Amino acid sequence: MKWYVLQVMTGSEDMVRDSLTRNGIHAAVAHERRVLRSGGKWLERDYVVIPSYVFVRIEYTDTLYYVLKRTQGVIRLLGTGSRPSPLLPTEEKWIESWEQPLLPSKIHFNKNGTYKVLDGPLIGENVKLLKLDRHRRRAKAEVKILGKPKITYLSLEILKEF
């Protein structure tokens, strides 16, 4: 079985995933427990990491295509040419950790401004770190989906400055 990507209406990712799961299709949506500052307090909330996308693990057939396409909220299957394309192996590896909400990436900062990512979703061949916002505890990252870059934001946990 391979992973494929569905483009869905923004905000309907969980509904589409639940509908596909009821039909016996393994579907995943990346969620992240994000820390936000509101009213002087730090709060945790779950957010969709890559809006408008649902990932499905299937053996692709033409019949299954019509089941996916008929699901409410699904716009299209992504791919090149006339058929959907499976994800690349590096992209699959990153997706397989999405069963639980993604935890913030743990980062150590150096006094000279350098940093080292120790743990979390910012590690991997499929993720390129573009910008760190230490105040908001968030990173702007580029994730590849079917080889094309997609910008997303991921949470950080700053462990120590040395």
133, 139 Cβ separation under 8 angstroms:
yes
Length of the chain: 162
| Alpha helices, DSSP H, located in 39-133 | 62-70, 89-95
> Structural domain tally of the chain?
1
Q: What pLDDT sits at residue 9? A: 95
Residue 82 belongs to a domain with what CATH number? 3.30.70.940
Instruction: Using pLDDT thresholds of 50, 70 and 90, give the confidence band for residue 162.
Output: low
Backbone dihedral angles phi then psi of residue 145, each to the nearest 5 degrees = -125, 115
User: Model pTM?
Assistant: 0.82
20-34, 96-110, 118-132, 141-155, range with the lowest pLDDT: 96-110
Phi-psi group of 2: left, alpha or beta (phi > 0 → left; psi -120 to 50 → alpha; rest → beta): beta
DSSP state of 88: P
33-87 confidence digits (pLDDT tens) = 877 778 888 788 888 888 999 999 999 888 888 888 899 999 999 887 778 888 8
Full domain range(s) for residue 107? 2-161
Q: What pLDDT sits at residue 161? A: 62
